[in-house]
């Protein structure tokens, strides 16, 4: 049965959401990189919003553009990055993509916005004690003396569940376990009291037990600090535990987004269905896994029209031929799906 819904261009979507005050608003974001092989498209026409105290999960395979989207918020993408002129990333009524001075960027990086990375050892300086790094960050972004900055840092280490925080304050990152390093990174990210926290695969490198502890810790932190969180992961099970809303990305485009329960229980896009079908069946652990056929294309060989058409299990003729442009339509209240693939599933 065909799903009928009026196609709403992305510009009207922006006009509709502008009536509300969001913590974060991303409008019409394109990101390209100049490489030796040519200019490649990493992100295309992404529009997202996030409210205070809410968690937006972003899921997709490696190469889907999740991390590039998050890094764009803090302008942390490399020097060969090109943003489109009409793109907007709005925080506190300011388009951060227009920031060029160090003072403006400092307001965002580690100030209003903090980021938790997948591997803490790649983020902590190995030859500098953890406490010194936390103090340095506070002195950079807050009007504090060293004594007060140290007190705040130790208190934050305590609040994320690190025992004997004063001792850990004076240790190096390599002296801590993986779970404790991740907690220390969360403490450092939170010490400046950001409005927005970007968590890029924060549990991927952890074992299952530590992963559960970090997830519970982050849920407590979100409630206590009432901050907005973008939680990036490839693990839909984690998203089900922490997110309020979810955006599914494929090859730089958002192909489906909406409330997390609605997306997980009633997926419309064949890619979202494929991600869910690839999960083990807990009621039949002997059943073979169902991977999505094929591989995500290289950005250098980006398909025309619908980017998922080369892997779609049941494409319509126009989709298969690349005749339909991508764009989100609302199939249920708050549930948006790419217009090309809504009838392919």
Domain boundaries, the chain: 10-112+194-267
pLDDT value, residue 274: 92
Which residues, at least 6 apart from 56, have a Cβ–Cβ distance to it below 8 Å?
A: 48, 50, 228, 229, 230, 231, 243, 244, 245, 246, 247
Burial 23-49 (b: 16+ CB within 10 A, else e): bbbbbbbbbbbeeeeeebbbbbbbbbb
Average pLDDT over residues 115-136: 88
Average pLDDT over residues 184-195: 90
Positive or negative: CA dihedral 195, 200, 203, 206: negative
pLDDT value, residue 19: 52
In the predicted structure, residue 16 carries a pLDDT above the cut 90: no
CA dist., res. 104 & res. 309, Å (int): 41
Flag the least confident range among 124-128, 209-213, 275-279. 209-213
CA dist., res. 232 & res. 227, Å (int): 16
Mean pLDDT of the chain: 87
Model confidence over 220-261: pLDDT tens digits?
888 888 999 999 998 888 899 999 999 999 999 999 999 999
pTM: 0.88
Mode of pairing for the β-strands spanning 245-250 and 253-259: antiparallel
Flag the least confident range among 49-53, 82-86, 251-255, 289-293. 289-293
Q: Please identify, in words, the CATH class of the domain defined by 10-112+194-267.
A: alpha beta
pLDDT value, residue 345: 58
Average pLDDT over residues 27-51: 95
CA dist., res. 164 & res. 131, Å (int): 13
In the predicted structure, residue 195 carries a pLDDT above the cut 50: yes
């Amino acid at each position: 049965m065909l799903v009928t819904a009026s196609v709403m261009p992305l510009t009207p979507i922006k006009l509709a959401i502008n009536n509300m005050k969001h913590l974060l608003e991303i409008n019409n974001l394109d990101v390209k990189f100049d490489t030796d092989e040519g200019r490649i498209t990493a992100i295309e026409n992404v529009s997202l919003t996030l409210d205070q105290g809410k968690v937006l999960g972003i899921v997709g395979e490696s190469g889907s553009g999740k991390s590039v989207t998050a890094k764009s918020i803090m302008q942390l993408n490399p020097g060969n990055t090109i943003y489109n002129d009409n793109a907007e990333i709005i925080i506190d009524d300011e388009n951060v993509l227009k920031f060029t001075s160090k003072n403006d960027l400092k307001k965002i990086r580690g100030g209003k916005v903090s980021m938790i990375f997948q591997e803490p050892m790649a983020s902590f300086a190995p030859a500098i004690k953890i406490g010194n790094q936390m103090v340095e960050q506070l002195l950079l972004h807050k009007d504090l003396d060293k004594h007060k900055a140290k007190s705040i840092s130790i208190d934050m280490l305590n609040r994320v569940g690190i025992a004997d925080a004063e001792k850990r304050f004076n240790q190096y990152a390599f002296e801590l376990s993986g779970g404790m390093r991740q907690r220390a990174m969360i403490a450092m990210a939170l010490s400046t009291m950001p409005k927005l926290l970007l968590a890029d695969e924060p549990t991927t490198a952890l074992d299952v037990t530590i992963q559960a502890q970090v997830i519970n810790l982050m849920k407590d932190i979100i409630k206590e600090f009432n901050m907005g969180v973008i939680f990036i992961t490839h693990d839909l099970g984690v998203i089900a535990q922490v997110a309020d809303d979810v955006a599914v990305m494929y090859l730089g485009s958002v192909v489906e987004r909406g409330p997390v329960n609605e997306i997980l229980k009633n997926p419309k896009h064949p890619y979202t269905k494929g991600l869910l079908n690839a999960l083990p069946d807990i009621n039949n652990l002997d059943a073979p896994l169902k991977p999505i056929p094929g591989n995500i294309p290289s950005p250098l060989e980006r398909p025309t029209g619908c980017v998922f058409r080369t892997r779609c299990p049941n494409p319509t003729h126009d989709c298969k031929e690349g005749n339909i442009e991508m764009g989100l339509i609302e199939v249920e209240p708050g549930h948006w799906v790419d217009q090309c693939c809504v009838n392919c599933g």
